[in-house]
Each structure stands twice: as C-alpha cells, then as structure tokens.
Amino acid sequence: MFEWRFADGPEAGRVWTSRPSDHAIYVDYRNPAGTQPDQWMRLLVGTRSWVLKQLEGVRYETKEPLSLALPRMLVIPDVDPSQLLDSVETILRRGGLDHFSNPVGAHSAPTGI
C-alpha cells in the first residue's frame, strides 16, 4: 500500500502548507511499486518559489562567493495551499523518485528546513 507522511509530523506539515514559499519540508514515503517497496524513503520537497528565493542569495559578495547547496529534492509547482497535499501525493504515487531519495535512517541529516 502506498503511504506518505511529513517526516517531522503533522504540525510541520501544517506550517509548510500555510507558507510553502517560506519553507521546504522532508516527506517520508513507501511505494510498493518503487525500487525498495518495503523501505520508507525520505525526500525534501519545496515549491518553485521557495527554490527561487534560495537562489536569490547566490552571488559574489565582498571577497567571497555566497553559494547554495541543496540536497536531493523534489520541486513542485506553486499551487494554492489546498492543492499542495494532492500535488505531493500525485507525484510520489507516480514513482520513479527512489534514486533521488534516501532510506529513512540511512543518514543523520536534520529533518525540516
């Protein structure tokens, strides 16, 4: 059975859906049609506007460049907050994201951004 959840819990999901252009969020999913059907996988999800805001900070300033390092992530369109959850689920169900995701517990990266 396909399942997904916010890695940091429902409250983190509420914050993200209320201000998706200000935050990205980790989601965990398990897709029986995926390459690792029994393994929960984790993927960072951000909206197009969130990514563009992050890119605005990439420039050369004073004596050194300001850069941006992004983990593997899924970028979704800017949609009405009521459509965010459906967008994430539709894309995760479609599959093909396992090679962009990490198994849950495979690393100690912080969750939530």
pTM listed for this prediction? 0.81
Mean pLDDT for each 10-residue chunk of the chain (113 residues)?
A: 94 95 95 83 95 88 79 91 91 86 67 45
Does 96 reside within a domain?
Answer: yes
In a domain, 62, yes or no: yes
Output the pLDDT for position 100. 81
108 falls within a domain: no
92 within a domain of the structure (yes/no): yes
What pLDDT is attached to residue 106?
Answer: 59
Q: Is 67 domain-assigned?
A: yes
Q: What is the pLDDT at residue 110? A: 44
Instruction: Please indicate, yes or no, if residue 8 is contained in any of the structural domains.
Output: yes
Q: What is the domain count for the chain?
A: 1
Q: How far, in Å, CA of 11 to CA of 17, rounded?
A: 10
CA distance 100 to 69: 15
Cα distance between residue 20 and residue 12, in whole Å: 11
Torsion region of 105: left, alpha or beta (phi above 0 gives left; psi -120 to 50 gives alpha): left
Domain that holds residue 85: 3-103
Rounded to whole angstroms, how far apart are CA atoms 79 and 53? 16
